[in-house]
């Protein structure tokens, strides 16, 4: 009996901000990940903060409505030294989540170190390392739009959860999940090679 064909999922990643919101969409069919679209939604800095949020929300709603993703992956909240910055980012993040929620798109949140671990192999990877690995994984020859690499990293993290857990000897039940427990270990070069990633020395 032949194996059933892999289900193709369309996953949207978001990197929200109060001036720009990076987004990236990929299809995941088994272990095959393919770039669909990437870019950023922006609002003029001269706009009142509330108006900027409204414009970014409107832009994200349009993208969600156009593609109808099967899931939205977004970075979980993390601590900022500046409370004002943290508050503004939280508000921008809420606007981004609302855009997906209004379209009934399931939302999955991942801690920053979990996303870095899934894409670059360790949870303390630099931004440039993450961007490089995103391009390698998705076989992107051109530069990505600003903020898009982080959004695509979140999407890749979500797409690879089952594969990564299989490599680690665990498994997910398919529910929405956050990694605040810190139980994820860093992947070894052997783990990455088994997943088909190119291991790059730092």
61 CB contacts (<8 Å, ≥6 apart)? Answer: 99, 102, 103
- Catalytic: 109? no
- Choosing from 70, 75, 126, 143, the catalytic residue is 75
Handedness of CA 156, 193, 113, 175 (dihedral sign): positive
Active site (annotated) includes residue 37: no
Could you confirm whether 147 is annotated as catalytic?
Answer: yes
Which of the residues 3, 15, 150, 191 is marked catalytic? Answer: 15
Instruction: Determine which one of 3, 126, 147, 201 is catalytic.
Output: 147
Which residues are catalytically annotated? 15, 75, 147
């Amino acid at each position: 009996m032949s194996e059933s064909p892999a289900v193709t999922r369309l996953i949207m990643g978001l990197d929200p901000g109060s001036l720009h919101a990076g987004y990236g969409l990929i299809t995941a069919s088994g272990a095959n990940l393919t770039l669909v679209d990437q870019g950023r939604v922006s609002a003029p800095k001269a706009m009142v903060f509330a108006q900027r949020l409204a414009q970014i929300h409107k832009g994200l709603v349009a993208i969600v409505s156009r593609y109808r993703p099967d899931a939205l992956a977004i970075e979980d909240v993390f601590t900022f030294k500046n409370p004002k910055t943290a508050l503004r980012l939280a508000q921008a993040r809420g606007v981004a989540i609302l855009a997906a929620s209004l379209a009934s798109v399931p939302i999955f949140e991942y801690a920053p170190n979990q996303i870095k671990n899934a894409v670059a192999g360790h949870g303390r990877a630099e931004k440039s390392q993450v961007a490089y690995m995103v391009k390698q994984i998705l076989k992107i020859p051109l530069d990505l739009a600003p903020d898009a690499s982080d959004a695509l990293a979140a999407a890749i993290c979500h797409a690879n959860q089952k594969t990564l857990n299989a490599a680690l000897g665990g498994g997910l039940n398919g529910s929405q999940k956050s990694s605040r427990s810190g139980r994820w270990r860093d992947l070894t070069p052997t783990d990455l090679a088994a997943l088909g990633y190119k291991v790059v020395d730092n």
